Amino acid sequence: MEKQKKARTAHVVLTSHSNQVFKDTPPINWGEKDPKKRGPVIATISEKQNRNAIGTHSGSYTVYRALSIASGAFPKLHKPELANTEGTFRFKPNPSWFDSTKIVTIDPLGADINIHFKDYLDAGYNIKPTIAVTQAHLHIPEVRDAVNEGRLKIDGKIVKEDFSIKCTKVALEPVWYLPGMAERLNVSEGELRKVLFQETGGMFPELVTRPDLKLMLPPIGSSTAYIFGDPDDIHNTDKELTCRVHDECNGSDVFGSDICTCRPYLTWGIEDAARTAQRGGVGLIVYFRKEGRALGEVTKFLVYNARKRQEGGDSAKNYFYRTECVAGVQDARFQEFMPDVLHYLGVKKIHNLHSMSNMKYDAIVGSGIEVVNRLSIPEELIPADAMVEIEAKKAAGYFTEGEIKDSKDLESVQGRKLDE
């Protein structure tokens, strides 16, 4: 072990070094229908000559992997044993998979690599799935409440006798096709690469030295789709689809912190998704790890304090302004890329979209998906301290079926004081 550690630290090969360009690297032809021509995403560290992507697997967890290898607890050359890991459901290819502009942040061939890339696997290439599909039963107190209050019924199929909801869940790691992302952001690929390199403190030199590598597996959080009902019906526009695309808010989603509406929105979406499945449709919740409008929890908590300490207290009037003061922007989530997951799953029409956000709505509709109804959260589910957020969002043009307050009224919508 000691010898192995020394060997690793003594020999560092820079990714920018010219001898890191190999002839036998399988090329990637994004959007190509034949998997053999499209090529597998290879981001293994152990066989450098095969790598055709910048970065490594597992998103942000790659850093923890490095720590465990550094500590000697993890074998550096581990090759995944994938027997019996096949998904509980297999998504059939849909036209979006083979359109190089429709999906640019996920590898549509990232699941079922044993089928798509059997020849490469047989030839010994170290390929890892970037999408995994499994089943789960969700136990959620709000769902139990919905049953007890008569809004949701136990049917033994979708909602079980123990109040759990049965679902299929899909984990998706980010795989970025840089030319497609640049196009969607309306910037040049070179500019996108340069800024990604600079703003990560020079983390991935290949962004600027290897324009031939078109893919990047960025060290960011993944996303998860929870599907209620038959996943095969998602692409069937005749079947009712209820959908919520939810951005992570750990404090509310998991811990029930009541300054925002995130958890109530999420559980209301799940409840309605289950109801839709019971009516013969499909429910879909997509959960994105984009904590605090993708600005992170530290920024978010600083904003909470600034909001509550500002002159006049926490009012709906200054809700967005405070975030911009602290973070420089109001929002860094880039909803432009959010619909990629929907296109992967084959969504063409959403009958009920659970969201107030125009950014989400515009991104979904702009990507070619039809939205029939938009639903905002019922007033009785909004926590007391979150009225500031809701009223500010409505006044800023977020979707609502209710009344919109004017500037003076917004001042009167006050949150709890800091020490209350």
Instruction: Measure the CA dihedral 328/330/334/339, to 10°.
Output: 170
Measured from the CB of residue 38, what is the shortest distance to Zn ion in angstroms? 38
Reported as half-sphere exposure (CB side, CA atoms, 13 A), residue 103 has a value of: 26
Measured from the CB of residue 389, what is the shortest distance to Zn ion in angstroms? 8
Total residues at the site for Zn ion (CB under 5 A)? 4
Measured from the CB of residue 40, what is the shortest distance to Zn ion in angstroms? 38
The type of residue at 241 is L
Signed CA dihedral, 62, 67, 68, 70: sign only: positive
Q: Is there a contact between 108 and 99 (Cβ–Cβ < 8 Å)? A: no
Measured from the CB of residue 5, what is the shortest distance to Zn ion in angstroms? 43
Residue among 27, 31, 62 at smallest CA distance from 41:
27
- 333 classed as catalytic: yes
Measured from the CB of residue 252, what is the shortest distance to Zn ion in angstroms? 4
Scan residues 250-289 and list those touching Zn ion (CB under 5 A). Answer: 252, 260, 262
Measured from the CB of residue 305, what is the shortest distance to Zn ion in angstroms? 15
The residues near 179 (Cβ < 8 Å, ≥ 6 apart) are: 30, 189, 214
Please identify, using beta-carbon distances, which residue of 131 and 260 lies nearer to Zn ion.
260
- The site map against Zn ion for 231-250 (x = CB under 5 A) is ------------------x-
Please identify, using beta-carbon distances, which residue of 15 and 330 lies nearer to Zn ion.
330
Please identify, using beta-carbon distances, which residue of 130 and 357 lies nearer to Zn ion.
357
Please identify, using beta-carbon distances, which residue of 107 and 291 lies nearer to Zn ion.
291
- 331 classed as catalytic: yes
In our burial notation (b when 16+ CB lie closer than 10 A, e otherwise), range 237-252 reads eebbbbbbbbbbbebb
Scan residues 49-78 and list those touching Zn ion (CB under 5 A). Answer: none
In our burial notation (b when 16+ CB lie closer than 10 A, e otherwise), range 177-202 reads bbbbbbbbeeeebeebbeebbeeeee
- Count of all residues that appear for the chain in the document: 420
Beta bridge partners of 169: 134, 226
Q: Which pairing describes strands 131-138 and 165-172: parallel, antiparallel, or unpaired?
A: antiparallel
Please identify, using beta-carbon distances, which residue of 276 and 299 lies nearer to Zn ion.
299
Among 331, 362, 374, 385, the one annotated catalytic: 331
Cα Rg of the chain (Å, integer)? 23
Please identify, using beta-carbon distances, which residue of 131 and 262 lies nearer to Zn ion.
262
Regarding 377 and contact with Zn ion (CB under 5 A), the answer is no
Q: Which residues are catalytic?
A: 331, 333
Task: Name the residues that contact Zn ion, by CB under 5 A.
Answer: 249, 252, 260, 262
